[in-house]
Amino acid sequence: MKGDMVTPYVERRKGKESVRYPHPDLEPILKETYGVVLFQEQVLKIASRIAGFSFAEADQLRRAMTKDRSAAEMERIKASFIQGAIGQGYGRKTAEEISAMVASFAGYGFCKAHAASFAHITYQSAFLKAHYPIEFYLGLLNAGHVGSYPQSVILNEAKRRGFEVLCPHINYSHQDYTAENRGIRIGLLALNGLGPRFCERILRERGQGPFASIKEFCRRVKLPQEIILKLSLAGAFLGLPLNERRRACG
């Protein structure tokens, strides 16, 4: 995207734009990607074929382009590439065009194996999101930190798709996020500071029977006051009376 290579790649793949190469010698290297430099391996082959670099020198070029590159370093690399290409018999204009093509790669390049792995996971994720959305969201939420999106973003996306997000609750939540009536019930571990030890204590006691009131919960599960407060603020006691008598009195 940074190198503005998405549009020509897609248009050429669909047959809406003709594939062109700055020089015919690039066709064997770039044919599979419709004339667009996509993979780091292609940079190595271009540097070797066009500029006469050894593969060791070509790899130094790749490293300089894709890690902590500076404008001065890129200019040095450009000059070296063009000089090498001219020495191989290519015209300056062709050398400069190929150099610019390779330089634009610096903004987005992957090695082929890395790109294939990402594509495979992306395809699987897209299939799950389309056909098994609730399972997809639960998988992401329960996997922990798996990318740049916090859990709040995933939950908002689930809401946008029509799934109700239910607050954590002492009688319904488990440790992790779970499906409940085509909605997502937030797990107890999502509460900051609760921790597995307190969660296990709540769930173990609930196994003896649901909590009838807040007072009963406090009596059966011994927790620090700050944890009780966090549960309350998160809505974990919603629907429960303060004590049994108040509930009985209606």
| DSSP assignments along 34-99, one per residue | TT---BHHHHHHHHHHHH---HHHHHHHHHHHHSS--HHHHHHHHHHHHHHHHHTT--HHHHHHHH
- Percent of the residues in the chain that have a pLDDT greater than 90, as a whole number: 63
User: Which residue is it, tokens 């009780």?
Assistant: 228
Q: How, if at all, do strands 178-180 and 183-185 pair?
A: antiparallel
Give the pLDDT band of residue 107 (cuts 50, 70, 90). low
pLDDT tens string 230-243: 999 999 999 998 76
**pLDDT at residue 58 tops 70:** yes
The whole-angstrom separation of Cα 174 and Cα 178 is 7
Whole-prediction pTM: 0.71
C-alpha span between 125 and 206 (Å, rounded): 35
Question: What is the residue extent of each domain of the chain?
Answer: 6-113, 132-248
For 161-219, how does the pLDDT look when each residue is reduced to its tens digit (9 = 90+)?
999 999 999 999 999 999 999 899 999 999 988 999 999 999 999 999 999 999 999 99
Q: pLDDT-based confidence at 106, cuts 50/70/90? A: low
Domain at 132-248: CATH code: 1.10.150.870
Res 177: pLDDT: 97
The mean of the pLDDT values for the chain is 88
Q: What is the mean pLDDT of residues 17-36?
A: 93
